[in-house]
């Protein structure tokens, strides 16, 4: 398992201080995936009850019961609303190799984590550069952006060093993570196993490390930075105002709604 030095690199600007993982002088070829499970109800036993309903436990040998129990655990936990699977991996940022560990952002920042299929392709650079061009807006919302593909850090670096007019990326304002073992893509449910590449998955993770939003596009469909931004703003609004919810298409400054049969009429009567 790869280890990460406890030190961090601080990049200061006029508006904020940015914390990045420790830079390594040379990349190693290992990647560690640390799975995390949680039960929102606080009582995991309730989540396994359907598995045992109608079954005769006396006819199940202990190893069989254990195997079915674990499968139910994995199938019964959606990503949204639960802790994001932690990971540690190599990445490229500012044309240097660094280590990124997702849990280092917990308690400090929101995270936009997006997957794309491959370097040196066609739709991918339009998304990657669009997020980079809007990075300052995400930074103002205390949010880090992380891009991930199954390519190596060497491929990432070569693509970053390629001019945009030639299909490259140019310098980016956030790290590109290397998922050469495909562990991260698999843990977030976006890996196409028979092709060995990731779908266009995007996840918004809050400061507690909980996945609050996900979208997954097929390979030929690019994503919208505007919609990602809008969803992030809606998430932050309802976390700051827990007695309110955001209706369809909500944007900052627009009217929100009270999740109550009577109080919600104030919203509906105004539209």
Residue 244 inside a domain? The answer is no
How far apart, in whole angstroms, are the C-alpha atoms of residue 247 and residue 110?
A: 22
Domain carrying residue 51: 45-75
> Is the pLDDT at 134 greater than 80, yes or no?
yes
pLDDT given at position 270: 87
Say how many residues make up the chain: 271
- Residue predicted with more confidence, 52 or 229: 229
* pLDDT for the residue 18: 54
Alpha helix stretches (DSSP H) within the chain = 45-52, 62-75, 123-133, 135-140, 153-160, 183-187, 225-240, 265-268
Q: What is the mean pLDDT of residues 96-114?
A: 97
Domain end among 75, 93, 127? 75
3-state percent breakdown (helix, strand, coil) of the chain, nearest 5: 30, 25, 45
Per-residue pLDDT reduced to its tens digit, 54-85: 333 333 344 333 333 333 344 567 899 999 99
| Burial of 94: CB neighbours in 10 Å, binned 0-12, 13-18, 19+ | middle
| Structure tokens that stand for 95 in this block | 């044309």
102 in the same domain as 173 = yes
Whole-angstrom distance, CA of residue 119 vs CA of residue 165: 15
Same domain for 162 and 215, yes or no, is yes
Domains in the chain: how many in total? 2
Q: What global pTM score does this model have?
A: 0.73
Domain assignment of residue 98, yes or no: yes
34 has pLDDT over 60: no
The answer to whether 148 and 185 are in contact (CB under 8 A) is: yes
Same domain, 64 and 100: no
Give the C-alpha separation, 55 to 167, whole Å.
58
Between the two ends of the chain, the Cα-to-Cα distance in Å is: 55
- Please, which pLDDT band fits residue 93 given cuts at 50, 70 and 90? very high
Same structural domain, 94 and 154: yes
Query: What pLDDT, in 10s, does the model give residues 216-225?
Result: 999 999 999 9
pLDDT band at 271 (very low <50, low <70, confident <90, very high): confident
Pair 178, 55 in one domain: no
64 plus 104 within the same structural domain: no
Mean pLDDT value across residues 136-148: 98
pLDDT at 76: 65
Determine, yes or no, domain membership for 24.
no
33 close to 87: Cβ distance less than 8 angstroms: yes
Residue for token pair 């669009």: 130
- pLDDT (average), residues 20-47: 41
Tokens for 180, please give them: 């050469």
**Do 200 and 101 share a domain, yes or no?**
yes
28 or 93, which is more confident:
93
Locus of tokens 């299909």: 167
Mean pLDDT of 101-121: 97
Q: Does pLDDT of 249 surpass 80?
A: yes
The gap from C-alpha 117 to its chain's centroid, in whole angstroms, comes to 15
- What's the confidence (pLDDT) of residue 111? 98
**Dist CA 41 CA 257 (whole Å):** 26
Residues 60 and 172 in one domain: no
Whether residues 112 and 65 fall in one domain = no
User: pLDDT tens across 167-194, in order?
Assistant: 999 999 999 999 999 999 999 999 999 9
Domain end among 219, 237, 262: 219
Q: Which residues are catalytic?
A: 124
Residue 141's pLDDT is 98
The verdict on 95 and 202 lying in the same domain is: yes
d(C-alpha 211, C-alpha 112), whole Å? 10
Same domain, 151 and 50: no
Q: Which of 224, 17, 20 is nearest to 104 (CA)?
A: 20
pLDDT of residue 75: 55
């Amino acid at each position: 398992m790869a280890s990460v030095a406890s030190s961090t690199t601080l990049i200061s600007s006029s508006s904020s201080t940015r914390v990045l993982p420790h830079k390594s002088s040379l990349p190693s070829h290992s990647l560690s995936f640390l799975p995390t499970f949680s039960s929102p109800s606080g009582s995991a036993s309730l989540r396994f009850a359907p598995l045992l309903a109608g079954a005769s436990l006396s006819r199940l040998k202990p190893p069989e019961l254990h195997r079915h129990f674990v499968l139910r655990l994995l199938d019964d936990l959606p990503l949204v609303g639960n802790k994001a699977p932690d990971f540690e991996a190599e990445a490229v940022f500012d044309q240097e190799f660094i280590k990124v560990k997702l849990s280092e952002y917990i308690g400090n920042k929101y995270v936009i984590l997006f997957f794309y299929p491959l370097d040196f392709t066609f739709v991918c650079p339009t998304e990657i550069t669009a997020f980079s061009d809007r990075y300052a807006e995400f930074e103002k919302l205390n949010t880090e952006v992380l891009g991930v593909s199954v390519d190596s850090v060497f491929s990432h670096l070569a693509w970053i060093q390629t001019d945009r007019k030639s299909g490259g990326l140019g310098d980016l304002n956030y790290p590109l993570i290397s998922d050469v073992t495909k562990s991260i893509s698999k843990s977030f449910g976006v890996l196409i196993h028979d092709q060995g590449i990731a779908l266009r998955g995007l996840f918004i993770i809050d400061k507690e490390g909980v996945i609050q939003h996900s979208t997954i596009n097929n390979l030929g469909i690019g994503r919208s930075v505007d919609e990602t931004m809008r969803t992030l703003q809606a998430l932050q609004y309802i976390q700051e105002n827990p007695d309110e919810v955001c209706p369809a298409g909500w944007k900052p400054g627009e009217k929100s709604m009270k999740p109550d049969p009577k109080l919600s009429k104030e919203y509906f009567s105004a539209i």
